[in-house]
Amino acid sequence: MSNLKLASGIARIPDMLAAGVHVALGTDGAISGNDLDMWMALRLAATLHKGASQRADAVSTHQALGMATRSGARALGAADRLGSLEKGKLADMILIDVKRPHAVPMFDPVTHLVYSTAKSDVRHVFVGGEQVVRDGVLTRHTIDDTLDAVAELAPRIAATVA
């Protein structure tokens, strides 16, 4: 999203994938992208290159999801612990409410996740097997506490990158 906003071009993701490059998908940052919405990033990854190349197979929804999960973990050097649900890895996962008017009918779960669901559809979040969001509500902290902590930390983090 930030590349589009900044008019800095479109990464040649289909070419990178074809060359065997492990491409990780993220949200960049709130300063350049204005939003930390992985659903928008997923949807853009799966659609932008189709329009730019006029090829429906440019980046599949399965490839986009892999960039957000397995390749993201690999980019962080944590593929042995994160990025997929496997025995021995941390149980980081989300449960999504797919019984929403904008999310029916469902034919392919991955395509459905990428094209039809939204961040507001996330009902439960588990990190390392511990539930940290239940029915859309944080379980360990309040939103206000979290926002206060971010407001306190942001200047210190910004100072380290300035």
47/19 Cα distance (integer angstroms):
20
**104/158 same-domain check:** yes
**117/132 same-domain check:** yes
Domain final position from 85, 119, 138: 85
Question: Which tops the pLDDT comparison, 91 or 58?
Answer: 58
- pLDDT at res. 30: 67
The two structure tokens encoding residue 152: 């306190």
**78/98 same-domain check:** no
CB 124 within 8 A of CB 98: no
**159/127 same-domain check:** yes
Domain final position from 85, 119, 146: 85
Domain final position from 68, 85, 102: 85
Tell me if the pTM is above 0.85.
no
pLDDT in tens, 34-85: 778 888 999 999 999 999 899 999 999 999 999 999 999 999 999 999 999 9
**112/55 same-domain check:** no
Question: Which tops the pLDDT comparison, 19 or 9?
Answer: 19
**21/101 same-domain check:** no
- pLDDT at res. 21: 93
Q: Domain of 162?
A: 91-162
- pLDDT at res. 162: 65
pLDDT in tens, 104-116: 888 999 999 999 9
What is the CATH classification number for the domain harbouring 159?
Answer: 2.30.40.10
pLDDT in tens, 11-35: 899 999 999 999 999 887 766 667 7
**151/95 same-domain check:** yes
- Could you give the number of structural domains in the chain? 2
**24/54 same-domain check:** yes
